[in-house]
Amino acid sequence: MSQSRKRHRGQPGNDRKFYLSQLVQEYHTTKDIEAKQQVLANLGNFAYDSINHNWLWQANAIDVFFDALEQQDSLLQEFGAGGIANICLDPQHYQYILSNTKHIESINAIVEDGTRHDTSTTTDAVVNAMTTLMLLINDTSHQVILTDALKTSLLRLKQNRQVDTRIITVATLFLTDYFPDKTT
């Protein structure tokens, strides 16, 4: 590994494990929304680098990301969806996400929220949720993920010219790759 890469990642070890555990604890104990947003943004950034995945697993950060999807605050949803997208291909997290249909339902809910005009769900949350679902699809998970309800949401997003073009683009790709029939 190059020296610049080592400097970017920092030194692995117990300090990072402790810090990540502290962030998870702070998320659960603070009542301040801005503090929760900051904690979640930090956890999502750590989830971006695979060197942190095991420590995030030990700290139960994945549950924090899923909790954020259930919140009313759009930034918490955005950062939660981003954290899940960043970590979902790690084998432990991948299995955990697919082990409970509620996890897939929570991700789907963000996609569906993006279809409503009265929602505060952010573009990044919707794009991250769609991306996560695509990354999770395999020979066995496709039955749980590729539902008629998801297809309906994706079609609405694709046809809604009032949403960000990134959402339309990802919805179109999703439909083309995973729902390749004449209705898309």
pLDDT in tens, 82-137: 999 999 999 999 999 999 999 999 999 999 999 887 667 899 999 999 999 999 99
Q: What is the pLDDT of residue 180?
A: 85
**Distance of alpha carbon 22 from alpha carbon 97, whole angstroms:** 23
The pair of structure tokens assigned to 83 is 């954290």
CA nearest to 89, candidates 147, 131, 145, 150: 131
Report the chain's mean pLDDT, rounded to a whole number. Answer: 91
Q: Give the number of other Cβ atoms within 10 Å of residue 76's Cβ.
A: 24
Q: Which amino acid is at 15?
A: D
Cβ-based neighbours of 12, under 8 Å, separated by 6 or more: 51
Mean pLDDT value across residues 61-66: 98
| Per-residue pLDDT reduced to its tens digit, 19-32 | 999 999 999 999 99
CA nearest to 27, candidates 77, 58, 61, 3: 61
pLDDT at 143 over 50: yes
Q: What is the pLDDT of residue 183?
A: 52
CA nearest to 34, candidates 65, 83, 73, 84: 73
- What the chain holds in terms of domains, given with CATH numbers, is 3-178 (1.25.10.10)
Let me know: does 62 contact 22? Beta carbons within 8 Å.
Answer: no
Residue identified by tokens 């949720």 is: 129
The pair of structure tokens assigned to 133 is 């679902």
pTM for the predicted model, two decimal places:
0.89
**Distance of alpha carbon 91 from alpha carbon 74, whole angstroms:** 28
